[in-house]
Structure 1
Amino acid sequence: MNSLVIEGSPKTPTIKFDGDNGTFSIEGRSIPENSLDFYKPVMDWLDSYISEPKDETNVIIRLEYFNTSSSKCILDVFKKLEIIFKRGNNVNIKWHYEEDDEDMLEAGEDYQSIVKIPFTMIEDIE
């Protein structure tokens, strides 16, 4: 399966979804003008991936900041991954947050309580 790569900007995260090895990452800031437009290619790509996922999908989330509209889109990404997980495939989410960034830790914990996928909280110490 092909990969999806969206280069980041000061307002949008770098997205790298490698369909061949099941490794996905979303990194940076997510405050696009229109979150639905920005995340639409991601959702479309995931729809294709769901039909033939790898046995194991590893997701790295390393966001500095995201706005409210992005949070809904990120949840939608997790809900698509949850479909894969419920079908018996392994899905692992590594939620990175910076040392002393309680808000980002809580955001990860909130997502973890909504979707039934194993999350690993990783504190990045500088």
Structure 2
Amino acid sequence: MERIHIQATEFTPHITFDPSNGLIELKGNSTPHNSLKFYHKMIVNLEEYAIRGTKDLTANVAFRYFNTSSSKCLYDMFKQLDKIKKKGRQVTINWYYSPSDEDMYEVGKDFSELMNLNFNFIELAA
């Protein structure tokens, strides 16, 4: 499993996966033309982390917008994080949202109800 660092673009989020420090960051907009292809490397690395990873994980998630296909990929990532938790490692999701964006807050709540993960909901400064 390798460190991943992807710069944000107009259509894709900033992504960092730092397995040596147990850190994941997803920030920005996610409307790639092919979400499955864009998120594939991240999902594969999480699958490998579920097998070989030893550290607890913290995921800082701060999306402004994501489309339906990105939502499916996020669900797949959270499923991998749930597997990691079941292997005895602590997994925390810090879900950041704008106070003016109730929809993003609700999407985070929906994910938290689908997964057995520790979600913290953090309101961004206005």
Instruction: Report TM bin, short chain.
Output: over 0.9
Partner of residue 26, structure 1: 26
**TM norm structure 1:** 0.96
Are 1:114 and 2:98 an aligned pair?
no
Q: State the shift of 1:20 in Å.
A: 0.4
* Structure 1 residues 70-85: aligned runs within 5 Å: 70-85=70-85
In 2, the alpha carbon distance for the partners of 1:12 and 1:31 equals: 6
Aligned-partner Cα distance in 1 for 2:2–2:40: 17
Deviation at 1:53, TM superposition (A): 2.0
* Per-residue CA distance 1:64-111 (angstroms, 9 max, x = gap): 000001000000000000001112210000000011210000000000
Which is further off, 44-53 or 54-63?
A: 44-53
Number of residue pairs matched by the alignment = 126
Q: Aligned partners of 1:43, 1:104: CA distance in 2, in Å?
A: 22
User: Retained in 2: the 8 A contact 1:60–1:96?
Assistant: yes
Give the root-mean-square deviation of aligned CA atoms.
Answer: 1.0
Counterpart code for 1:70: S
Q: Which amino acid aligns with 2:80?
A: K
Distance 1:44 1:26 in 2: 16
- In 2, the alpha carbon distance for the partners of 1:7 and 1:54 equals 26
**For structure 1, which runs of at least 5 residues remain unmatched after alignment?**
none
CA contact (8 A) 2:21 2:55 kept: no
Contact 1:21 1:54 in 2 (8 A): no
Correspondence 1:36 to 2:36: yes
- Map of 2:50 onto structure 1: 50
Q: CA deviation at 1:55?
A: 3.2
1:26-53 CA-to-partner distances (Å, cap 9, x unmatched) read 0000000011111111111112211122
Aligned counterparts of 1:22 and 1:8: Cα–Cα separation in 2: 21
Letter in 2 for 1:109: K
CA distance in 2, matches of 1:3, 1:24: 10
Unaligned runs of 5+ in 2: none
Aligned residue for 2:88, secondary structure, equals coil
Q: TM-score under structure 2 normalisation?
A: 0.96
